[in-house]
Structure 1
Amino acid sequence: MAIFIADQPGVPATKDTHAFSKKYIVVISLISALGGYLFGFDFAVISGALPFLQNQFHLDSYWEGFATGSLALGAVAGCVIAGKIADRYGRRPGLMYAALVFTVSSVVMALSVSREMFIGARFCAGIGVGMASMLSPMYIAEVAPAHLRGRLVAINQLTIVIGILITNLVNYWLRNSGADAWRWMFGLGVVPSSLFLLGSFFLPESPRWLVKVNRVQEAEKVLLRIGDTAFAKQALQQIAASLQGISKMNYSGLLQKQVIPAVLVGIGLAVFQQLCGINTVFNYAPKIFQSIGANQDDQLMQTIFIGGVNLVFTVLALLLVDKLGRKPLMLMGAAGLTILYIFIAQLLGAHVASVSWFLLAAIGLYAMTLAPVTWVLISEIFPNKVRAEAIVVATVSLWIAYFMLVFTFPVLFEKWKEQSFYIYAGVCAVGTLFTWQKVKETKGKSLESME
């Protein structure tokens, strides 16, 4: 039996007049967010596996960057595929397909016998990552009440960082298991992907998609499990009004004069979240710490510290995103990283071990601000009529930017070393100005009211 909990006072929209089944909302959000865990797994596993892959497949800096970045190329394809599936068949089937792709690709990566086979399998893993990166936050945003939406969408980021931390721990545990340790690192991805596939069978379909395809009674049943009768009635009216005249996915709608500003802001946020440079630390921590003389054990241990800090500050973000708001956190992250990167560049150039503290500070700041809040904003700022299409475009832009970042970093670091971080400091300075001028606050507003 559902337990209904009245909303807390002090937040706008419908919060004070409705009761919600908070337990049910959290459970379905957590199941959907398992896609984020798999995102974190595939994102982090390459860091611990790269030293083994370099020996196994004789990777130079070019192929090292391409093997890492192939995940992003697959993610671009995954976003497009997810958009079509989400529009035609619903959000829930898309999440199920993503889980299946994760499972198969993990097995193939573990069994790879050539560089090309591994990169092809990692590309396929990227398809699953791209699907999950788009569908999980979209699904959560569409089932969550306005006053809970920020922290519930941020749960997706929490599962990402939990995936990163656990994967880093497993990589460290397997580090002395022989030349084939990397196969176990990738193969163990079958476990969480199977759990995600099983859990997705228990998810309800998004009420907004159900209304869009004229399955209004089913949408009402889902909304009644989320909130009380008054909430369900009001939500149905708002959703129907916002979807009037729209029946299928149509990217031309993104070119409407009133939509273009939101689309450009979404693309800008997505690209900035990646080009700000922090994922070079996640993916290439061993390479960075090797440059200051750390041995392989110390390099992999640093990835655990990175994962731990990432987790702690992501939890802090969950507590702040619906209190401080989206824009203040984005500004804090962008400006803070600008300053930290300057110190990091100077300390790396001096080969000072204390650079690790500044790298951890940068990870913590990113985890509390840009990492979760970007996904929250991307899931919120677009009108219902073009939400799926706009999220596809924004998420594709994010993954293209991620590929550019991780593909170029090994070459940049080999040539310029610590000077690379001055480039990322410049990007963050531009991102601060962009956020200040273009991003609007969305805290406490329903998806329909923001239109």
Structure 2
Amino acid sequence: MWCTALGHDLGQARALMPPMVLGLGTNNQHSEIWYLDCYTTSKLLEYPLVIAAIFIIGIGGSFQYGFHVSVMTSPSLELVNTTGTQRYGVRLDEGQVSLIWSFLVSIFCIGGMLGSLLAEQMCKKYGRKQCLLLNNLPAILAAVLMVLSQRAVSFEMIMVARLLYGINTGVGVTLHPMYLVECAPKNLRGTVGVMVATFCSLGKFIGQLLGIGELLGTGDRWVWLLGFSGFAALLQLSTLPLLPESPRYLLLNRRDHQGYDRAAKRLWGSRDYSVDTKEMLQERTALQDIKVHTVMELLLSRSMRWPVLTIIVTFSALQLSGINAVYFYSMDVFRAAGIPEQQLRYVALGMGLCEVASSLGCAIAVGFIGRKALLLWGYIGVGVTQTLLTITLNLQTQISWMPYCSILLIFLSIFFFSSGPAGVTMSLLGEFFTHSYKPAGYAIASNINWVCMFLVGMLFPFIVKYLGSFCFMIFLFFNTTVAAFVWFNVPETNNLSALEIKQEFLKMHTKTKTKTETKTETKAKTETKTETKAETETKTETKAETETETETKTKTCGPTRFETAVDTEGHSCQTRL
């Protein structure tokens, strides 16, 4: 499996593992990892309906996001120009075609932001399952518009379809991890949460596969490529009714104890799930009133400040890590290595397959390595490989074998990113926030992701134009900053409830504050002690000076002499001379 295949790099991975993962007196590294690997996999196999939920929710959730990202630029500029000419009878110049094409690309991100905001309100009103069902309707409508756009000779229909796809993807990416994490037992939440990234990678791979010229990547079939998402939406629409509503939503929002028991038994079988129930009831007791908070209330909450800041930093880093730059330069590197032009699509498929395999490995490893260790592993690994890639890209025209080093570094960058940040970040959402803050937390994370994706899409061409391969140095700064932030500010969340994670955040930052205050108090006490000692020394010196003055006076005056005499009555007396 992944962990045993990764044997050469396990030394680095073990250095990042928490102590309780490594164990004591373990000499056989491979057998230890193999045991934990099989244990995690076998535990998941005990919950068949949870496995079904992973596939059913995934196909209409993050799969759609990954698919649209990979096929976003499949239609060529010539197709837009041809459509404009047939529709209006006017030959569009290069600037007009570029403007229309840029809008076709960016409107998907705008739809994604709208979908993220809609998801917050929809899941409050309709619940997780009902919201996911309704979310398939925009995707089906968009697929119909996309397929008909070629016959209608209308790129306006393509724009509307792109907007609807964005809304569908925004809602799906927000609700996908929320529903899955709430349906999974506590000991499998990390593994199930990482599957969100796995389906995103799978969507990219399927998009690349269908986009090759032998399938749908041609001028007359590209609308069917972009309409493929409608089939995925139909598949989820027909299978999602087989799944129950989220048990957590039924218990905490609707206060439906009978519905909760039915959903829990269907998902978790006849096993004892009293621990999960106790955790939810404790959360309800701690929160007292399960009021669903808004985005503004979450941002203004002092107790949730560090979880929110962590989500903002990690989700921004997903787009600012430079992985898009790696993909951008990959084709030039492959050409420099002598790979024929007609074979480049298949090499790109290899990159997509590497991403899928790494995501699956992350899903297996997250349960025993931990979230924090994988985040650090990913960002440090990406930063190192990007630094080396900057060097090899600048030397590949001078040294004949340097392009092969660049190819290796490209695949390593994808591996580090997919097995760390891409896989773990999504799972943090379901763990960081208590039930009342979840919709707002997911809305913030999704919008941060969409905004950063839009900014990178707009600014990256200019960055490459002026910096060339040195653009990786900008992304190195982001990766280093995020790694430092995670190391100093984020606790390990493995097998912890939302309330426990909240306490870990408070403990971590309160502990830092206490240390600072203790240091200040110690310094003040030391200064006070020094001052007291100085005063004592001053008094001693004053006393010594007084004694010295007395001695000096005595020496100056000399000894006092007396003369003894006897008076007439016979009494003796002394007379001072």
Q: Which band: TM-score by shorter chain?
A: 0.7 to 0.9
CA distance in 2, matches of 1:289, 1:70: 31
Verify: 1:26 aligned to 2:26, yes or no. Answer: no
> In structure 2, do the counterparts of structure 1 residues 184 and 275 end up closer, same or farther at CA, with 3 Å as the change threshold?
same
Aligned to 1:126: 166
Change (3 A) 1:61 1:117: same
Which AA in structure 1 matches 2:289? Answer: G
The code of the aligned residue for 1:41 comes to F
Q: CA deviation at 1:375?
A: 0.3
User: Residue 371 of structure 2 aligns with which residue?
Assistant: 326
2:64 is aligned, of 38, 48, 66, to: 38
User: Partner letter of residue 444 of structure 1?
Assistant: N
The 3 A distance-change label for structure 1 pair 139 and 413 is: same
State, as a whole percentage, how many aligned pairs show the same letter: 25
- The residue aligned with 1:443 is 494
Local SS of the residue matching 1:209: helix
Instruction: Pick closer, same or farther for the CA change 1:430–1:62 going to 2, 3 Å.
Output: farther
Structure 1 residues 180 and 407, CA gap change in structure 2 (3 angstroms): farther
* Partner residue in 1 for 2:380: 335
Contact persistence 1:174–1:185 (CA under 8 A):
no
Give the counterpart letter for 1:223 in structure 2.
A
Kindly indicate whether residue 255 of structure 2 is the aligned counterpart of residue 214 of structure 1. yes
Distance in 1 (CA, whole Å) between partners of 2:76 and 2:310 is 35
Report whether the alignment pairs 1:365 with 2:416.
Answer: yes
1:67-78 superposed matches below 5 A: 67-78=104-115
| Matching residue's letter, 2:172 | A
Give matches, 1:12-161, under 5 Å: 22-34=47-59, 35-50=61-76, 66-112=103-149, 113-161=153-201
Letter in 1 for 2:57: S
Structure-2 change in CA distance of 1:335 and 1:242 (3 Å): same
Superposed CA deviations along residues 72-104 of structure 1, whole A, max 9, x for unmatched, are: 221111111011111111011221122222222
Matches of 2:212 and 2:45, distance apart in 1: 43
Write the distance in 2 (CA, Å) between the matches of 1:277 and 1:379: 25
8 Å contact from structure 1 (residues 336, 365) kept in 2:
yes
Report what 2:441 is aligned to: 390
Of structures 1 and 2, the one scoring higher in RCO (CA 8 A, sep 6+) is 1
Distance, in Å, in 2 between the alignment partners of 1:369 and 1:62 is 36
Q: Which residue of 2 aligns with 1:258?
A: 303
SS in 2 for 1:330: helix
Give yes or no for contact 2:212–2:345 (8 Å, CA) kept in 1.
yes
User: TM-score by structure 1 length?
Assistant: 0.87
Aligned letter for 1:343? L
Q: Deviations over 1:297-334 (max 9, x none)?
A: 34422321111110111111111111100011111111
1:237 aligns with 281
Matched, 1:163 2:215: no
User: Is the partner of 1:323 in helix, strand or coil?
Assistant: helix
Q: Distance in 1 between matches of 2:382 and 2:130?
A: 38
Who is 1:309 aligned against? Answer: 354
Contact 2:77 2:101 in 1 (8 A): no
Choose 219-228 or 128-137, whichever is displaced more: 219-228
CA gap of 1:166–1:149, structure 2 versus 1, over 3 A, is same
Q: Deviations over 1:20-54 (max 9, x none)?
A: 96222222233222212222211211244456657
What secondary structure sits across from 1:184 in the alignment? Answer: helix
**What is the number of residues matched between the two proteins?**
437
- Aligned residue type for 1:153: G
Structure 1 residue aligned with 2:265? 224
Bigger radius of gyration: 2
- Cα 1:56–1:432 shift into 2, 3 Å: farther
RMSD (CA atoms): 3.0
> Equivalents in 1 of 2:338, 2:242: separation in Å?
49
Give the TM-score, by structure 2 length.
Answer: 0.69
1:121 CA drift (Å): 2.2
Residues 1:405 and 1:288: Cα distance change in structure 2 (over 3 Å): farther
Note if contact 1:37-1:160 (Cα within 8 Å) is conserved in structure 2: yes
Partner of residue 246, structure 1: 290
Query: Given that residues 111 and 163 in structure 2 are in contact (C-alpha distance below 8 angstroms), is that contact kept between their aligned partners in structure 1?
Result: yes
Structure 1 gaps, min length 5 = 1-9
Is the 8 Å Cα contact of residues 280 and 406 (structure 1) preserved in structure 2? no
